[in-house]
Amino acid sequence: MTRDRIALLVFGCFPLAFFMVMAFFPGIFTSYGLKDMNKPWLTPSADHILGTNSLGYDIFTELVYGAKETLLIGLASSLFMLALGAMIGMLSTLPGLPGILFNGLINVFMLLPHLITLIVISAFIGHSAAELIILIALFGWVGTARNVRARVIHLNSQPFIESCTIQGFSRIHVIFHHILPNLYDLLLFRFLLGVNSCIMMESTLSFLGIGDVYTPTWGTMVNLAYKRGAFMRRAYNYLPPPGVCIMLLSLSFYFISMAVEARREQIDL
């Protein structure tokens, strides 16, 4: 464990741990309820660290509760994305027609323009958290699938897999006991990277107005701020903070993923 790696891990884990505590124990950070209505549009003060918004909700409270929503959607969609990508990636290595079909599927999804198709699909899927997770995962799996496919093709040509097949082990056994374990580090890396892009995608979609409004994520907060005239009121306490939180969260995931990759590089060397 080099000094650099430790530094990276610390930089990464600290904000993440902070936000996770925020998500699970919001009461520690704020005594207000999420929907408590105080006077609207208050500027930051001792009572309200970040002031209040147009409906009188304490902005800092919204930020704290938004951590849970953002993390939930980010992690869930990344997991979903990972599973989907791994599955389709492996299926695309099948010999014959199924493999070609799934490979074609990967290429088709690569060609479709992401944001635009998402907006059209969201018009008839709905806006709740569950649907948002599906939407975000709908395009993110492509990168994972391609990496998995490349790795599996590489693995398939390795001698130890060949010897397994010769010894008569079934294909399922080979997949679960030999191929999958060799994918773990790749999957972990893609997961961390995926959380990052999921959080970004979620915040962009929420900013454009697609997302659950009653339990807002950080992206939705910025959207609401923008739509409720925060610009005109020069409400600098309302507009930047959620974006800054998103930035910190994604930075922490990035540092953790760099620490993981550093470990991989060490082993390779």
- In the complex, least distance from residue 224 CB atom to another protein, rounded to whole angstroms: 8
Binding mask 33-72 for another protein (x = CB under 8 A): --x-x--x-------------xxx----------------
Question: How many Cβ atoms are within 10 Å of 117's Cβ, its own excluded?
Answer: 14
List the one residue out of 66, 76, 20, 73 whose CA is nearest residue 224. Answer: 66
- Beta bridge partners, 58, equal 52
Please identify, using beta-carbon distances, which residue of 54 and 156 lies nearer to another protein: 54
Restricting to residues 139-178, which ones interact with another protein according to CB under 8 A?
Answer: none
Question: Is residue 8 within 8 Å of residue 258, measured between CB atoms?
Answer: yes
Tell whether residue 200 is a contact of another protein (CB under 8 A). yes
List the one residue out of 58, 56, 54, 53 whose CA is nearest residue 39. Answer: 56
Measure the CA dihedral 241/244/248/251, to 10°. Answer: 160
Considering only 27, 96, 113, 159, the residue that binds another protein (CB under 8 A) is 113
Please identify, using beta-carbon distances, which residue of 152 and 258 lies nearer to another protein: 258
For residue 114, report the phi and psi dihedrals to the nearest 5 degrees. -60, -65
Considering only 20, 204, 262, 263, the residue that binds another protein (CB under 8 A) is 204
Tokens of residue 230, six digits? 């925060």
- In the complex, least distance from residue 81 CB atom to another protein, rounded to whole angstroms: 19
Window contacting another protein (CB under 8 A); options: 23-31, 105-113, 148-156, 183-191? 105-113
Tell whether residue 248 is a contact of another protein (CB under 8 A). yes
List the one residue out of 11, 4, 68, 10 whose CA is nearest residue 34. Answer: 68
For residue 34, report the phi and psi dihedrals to the nearest 5 degrees. -65, -35
Q: Is residue 10 helix, strand or coil?
A: helix
Amino acid identity of residue 86, one-letter, is A
Restricting to residues 114-133, which ones interact with another protein according to CB under 8 A?
Answer: 115-117, 119-121, 123-124, 127
**What is the contact surface with another protein in residues (CB under 8 A)?**
35, 37, 40, 54-56, 103-104, 107-108, 110-113, 115-117, 119-121, 123-124, 127, 196, 200, 203-204, 207-209, 213-214, 219, 222, 226-229, 231-234, 236, 239-240, 243-244, 246-248, 250-251, 254
